């Protein structure tokens, strides 16, 4: 497990179902969250997502309809803040992300072994995972499970694709179909075939011209050697010195 980041601690304040600060130590290999609705179970899991990926977790591309118009900050809090500590071998990664009521006061930074950074792309590189991969291999959302059971066949297929991490591949395949690639390739092949036919016709005509020129040369007393590279060179030298 030394090659994977392990969440060791998370502190959540004012995020979704949390108003007051709550810290979870996640050193155990298995953790069970139990409680009634609105007790913060889902908020805890989503706080991990938001801490790592920020507002990416609320975008339409994630494929979770319930996230549209989503509010990060608890209505009774002035700030939503998530602080995470992850460990991989001897490396320690700290992530801090906040969303404040007043614009311009939100924070985001991370520290890898004490070295600070604020680049989201660099954090993704350090984590080694993208949001869609996280949803298909780490956190299986209850919204996706519900879609598999209750939605129309097309929606169920889309949910299953997201679950298996196949949605992007499916989009590529659909894009190829829409682009009518086989028809385009056939058209290109036909054009190359036409070019090849024209070139072969030109080559045949040139060979005929060369053969006629040789026959004319033979009639005038030239030999086969005169048509070789050496013979042609000798004739050119003779013309120069004449």
- Considering the domain architecture, whether residues 12 and 77 belong to the same structural domain is answered as yes
Helix residue ranges, H only, 54-152? 120-127, 131-137, 142-150
Global confidence as pTM: 0.59
Bridge partners (DSSP) listed for residue 9: 25, 85
What's the confidence (pLDDT) of residue 67? 61
Q: How many domains does the chain have?
A: 3
Is the distance from CB of 54 to CB of 97 less than 8 angstroms?
yes
Does a structural domain hold residue 17? Answer: yes
- Considering the domain architecture, whether residues 125 and 150 belong to the same structural domain is answered as no
Does a structural domain hold residue 1? Answer: no
d(CA 193, CA 201): 12
CA 135, 140, 146, 151: dihedral to nearest 10 degrees? 30
Count of CA atoms in the C-beta half-sphere (13 A) of 206: 6
Does a structural domain hold residue 236? Answer: yes
Domain that holds residue 234: 184-241
- Considering the domain architecture, whether residues 191 and 132 belong to the same structural domain is answered as no
Most confident range, picked from 33-42, 156-165, 196-205: 196-205
- Considering the domain architecture, whether residues 133 and 157 belong to the same structural domain is answered as no
Task: Give tens-digit pLDDT for 61-89.
Answer: 555 655 666 777 888 888 899 999 999 99
The answer on pLDDT for 153 being more than 80 is no
- Considering the domain architecture, whether residues 157 and 81 belong to the same structural domain is answered as no
């Amino acid at each position: 497990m030394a090659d994977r980041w392990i969440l060791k601690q998370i502190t959540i304040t004012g995020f979704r179902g949390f108003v007051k600060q709550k810290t979870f130590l996640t050193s155990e290999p298995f953790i069970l969250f139990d409680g009634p609705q609105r007790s913060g179970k889902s908020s805890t899991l989503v706080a991990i997502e938001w801490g790592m990926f920020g507002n990416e977790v609320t975008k339409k591309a994630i494929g979770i309809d319930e996230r549209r118009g989503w509010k990060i900050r608890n209505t009774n809090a002035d700030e939503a803040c998530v602080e995470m500590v992850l460990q991989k071998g001897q490396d320690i990664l700290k992530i801090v992300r906040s969303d404040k009521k007043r614009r311009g006061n939100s924070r985001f930074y991370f520290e890898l072994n004490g070295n600070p950074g604020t680049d989201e792309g660099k954090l993704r590189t350090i984590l080694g995972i993208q949001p869609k991969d996280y949803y298909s291999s780490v956190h299986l959302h209850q919204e996706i499970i519900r879609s598999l059971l209750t939605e129309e066949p097309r929606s169920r297929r889309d949910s299953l694709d997201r679950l298996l991490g196949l949605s992007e591949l499916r989009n590529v395949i659909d894009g190829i179909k829409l682009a009518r690639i086989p028809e385009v390739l056939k058209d290109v092949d036909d054009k190359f075939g036409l070019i090849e036919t024209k070139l072969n016709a030109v080559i045949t005509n040139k060979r005929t011209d060369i053969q006629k020129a040789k026959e004319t040369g033979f009639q005038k007393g030239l030999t086969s050697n005169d048509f070789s590279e050496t013979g042609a060179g000798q004739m050119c030298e003779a013309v120069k010195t004449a």
